[in-house]
Structure 1
Amino acid sequence: MVYLTIAVFCSVAVSVLLKILRQKNIDIRQTIVAGYPVACLLTWLLLKPDISGMSTLGSAWGVIGALGIMLPAVFIILGRTIEAVGMVATDAAQRLSLIIPIVASFLLFGELITGTHILGLALGFLALAALVYRPQHAEISQQAKHTPIWLFGVWAGYGIIDILFKQVAKQGTAFPLTLFVSFGLAGLLLLIYLLVTRVRWQGNAIAAGLLLGTLNMGNIYAYVRAHQVMHDSPSIVFTGMNVGVIAVATLIGVGIFKEHLNRINVLGLLLAICCVALLFLA
């Protein structure tokens, strides 16, 4: 349970860091680009990718290229969403992204759908609707009015990334090498973009990137290790990770950052937990 606890902590800590950075008007793009060299280094040290396998990537380069674009883009969207709607709804939407690869498995890869799948998917979409709900009479900032768009970006972005990683795995590419190359490409593309746009570099943004890269890789490594150590109990790892992130993010978001949740939002969180449990049991 130690690795699972670390994975949950690192995942929520990423959201906490991004929320703080947005509050301090720090350029998250710079933080993200500074985090990728750290993530690459930790991937090299912890997962030991086989660089000699680069020549065998072949057609997987298309998928890796898509990951190189999607990874930093989703991080940027994540930061904007946390600012607009808070940690609680954002992390719940991120966890509900598991709906997308499940639907893709039915529509694109010919897997059979069951009644439990249908119920779980229905609960997931209801949860998303409840999470974006805002009372009509409440005063809403201009940015908060775009809450459904931002939450959809987080949900769809992480779901697409999950599908991309699954496709690479099916092509026989080793996960550590895929992760290493994707991180490197993502950092390079974002760096080129920032240089072309002549961004004004911020020292505190770069420093925060060191922490972001460590937390990002810590989340991935701890989650993989949790599956390895608890290989006989994958349900505990899967459900514990998703439900744990939603629960801890809720405690921190409401307890520390004083995020407001209406009754419909709370119902959305409960539906999200039920969705995660049902989709795994299916």
Structure 2
Amino acid sequence: MHNLILAIFCSVAVSVLLKVARKKNIIIEQAIAFNYIVAITLSYFLLKPDFKGLAFTDFIAQSEHSPIFLALGLLLPSVFIIMSKAVEFAGIVRSDAAQRLSLFLPILAAFLIFHETLSQSKIVGIFFAFIGLFCLLTKPNQGQSAVNFKGILGLIGVWFGYGIIDILFKQVAKSGGAFPATLFISFSLAACVMFIYLVLKRTQWTVPSFLGGVLLGILNFFNILFYIKAHQSFGSNPTLVFAGMNIGVICLGTITGALIFKEKISKINGLGILFSLSAIFCLYYLDKFIL
């Protein structure tokens, strides 16, 4: 459970960094690009990926995990770009909701792809998890206008993209000792995609963005690492990790927003925290006790 808790803390720290980035003259797109360079470096020195004596390109071509790291390498930066467009055309509240409600896809995959056993306590826990998410995502009237077609496409892309990434990270966790190489290659491909995107945009590079990217890379790397380790710890209970990560991040994010940024927690948000804690109890403690 400690790996999941650490992943949640790192993820919220990433959100806090992105929230204050604009005030620190950090261009988020550049920070994301530099973040992948840091993630590549940490993967190499801390995880020591084993390429089985093959050249980098040969390993990519011959590895049985090629579909996973190719998909992650493309999706990680692409979903970020899609998220930025969704925020532009549909608003940050709707985009954040689409990201969190993508939980539906990995939970569905937990039973259809990863063959998790569906117990009564898990059904109740999943039910509580979604109620908690809806309550936590409920905000005061933001005065938002109707979503146009581009906004709808962006929200669908966010929902689908983040859901698929969660499923792919579970697949990375299942690769066992091969996961360091898979992560290293995924980050390498993601860096290539992001830098190509920025070069095509003719971006003007800045020092604050580089420094922000270094910090972002450290937090994001450990967020992903602990998330994968949590999946390895709860190999037969992916629902707990999928749901725990999503509701844990938004619960801690809500509390952090109130304490640091003086954001108001409404009564329905507080109710959402209670439902979310109940979901964790059902998915982990109650299910464990019944078994």
Q: TM-score, normalised by structure 2?
A: 0.72
Residues 277 and 75 (structure 1), Cα distance of their counterparts in 2 relative to 1, 3 Å cut: farther
Quick check: 1:196 aligned with 2:200? yes
* Deviation of 1:127 (Å): 2.4
The answer on whether the counterparts of 1:31 and 1:209 sit within 8 Å (CA) in structure 2 is: yes
Between the aligned residues of both structures, percent identity stands at 44
Query: Which residue in the other structure is 1:41 paired with?
Result: 41
Q: Deviations over 1:10-48 (max 9, x none)?
A: 322111100011455643111100111111101111111
Q: Deviations over 1:175-199 (max 9, x none)?
A: 1111111011111111111112222
Correspondent of 2:122 among 114, 117, 126:
117
The answer on whether the counterparts of 2:25 and 2:209 sit within 8 Å (CA) in structure 1 is: no
- Aligned residue for 1:174, secondary structure, equals helix
Residues 169 and 122 (structure 1), Cα distance of their counterparts in 2 relative to 1, 3 Å cut: same
- How big is the alpha-carbon RMSD for the aligned residues of Structure 1 and Structure 2? 4.2
The answer on whether the counterparts of 1:28 and 1:76 sit within 8 Å (CA) in structure 2 is: no
Choose 207-216 or 100-109, whichever is displaced more: 100-109
Correspondent of 2:275 among 266, 271, 275:
271
Q: TM-score, normalised by structure 1?
A: 0.74
The answer on whether the counterparts of 2:79 and 2:161 sit within 8 Å (CA) in structure 1 is: yes
Equivalenced residue count is 272
The answer on whether the counterparts of 2:73 and 2:187 sit within 8 Å (CA) in structure 1 is: yes
Query: Which residue in the other structure is 1:14 paired with?
Result: 14
- Aligned residue for 1:130, secondary structure, equals helix
Query: Which residue in the other structure is 1:69 paired with?
Result: 74
- Aligned residue for 1:266, secondary structure, equals helix
Q: Deviations over 1:201-229 (max 9, x none)?
A: 3332122101100111233445667899x
**1:138-217 correspondence runs (5 A):** 138-141=141-144, 156-170=160-174, 174-217=178-221
Structure 1 gaps of 5+ residues are: none
The 1-side partners of 2:142 and 2:231 are apart by 45
The answer on whether the counterparts of 2:72 and 2:168 sit within 8 Å (CA) in structure 1 is: yes
Residues 209 and 169 (structure 1), Cα distance of their counterparts in 2 relative to 1, 3 Å cut: same
Q: Deviations over 1:32-76 (max 9, x none)?
A: 001111111011111111123626853532221211122224445
The 2-side partners of 1:131 and 1:149 are apart by 24
Residues 225 and 78 (structure 1), Cα distance of their counterparts in 2 relative to 1, 3 Å cut: same
Residues 78 and 250 (structure 1), Cα distance of their counterparts in 2 relative to 1, 3 Å cut: farther
The amino acid that maps onto 1:69 is L
The amino acid that maps onto 2:135 is A
Quick check: 1:258 aligned with 2:262? yes
The amino acid that maps onto 2:72 is L
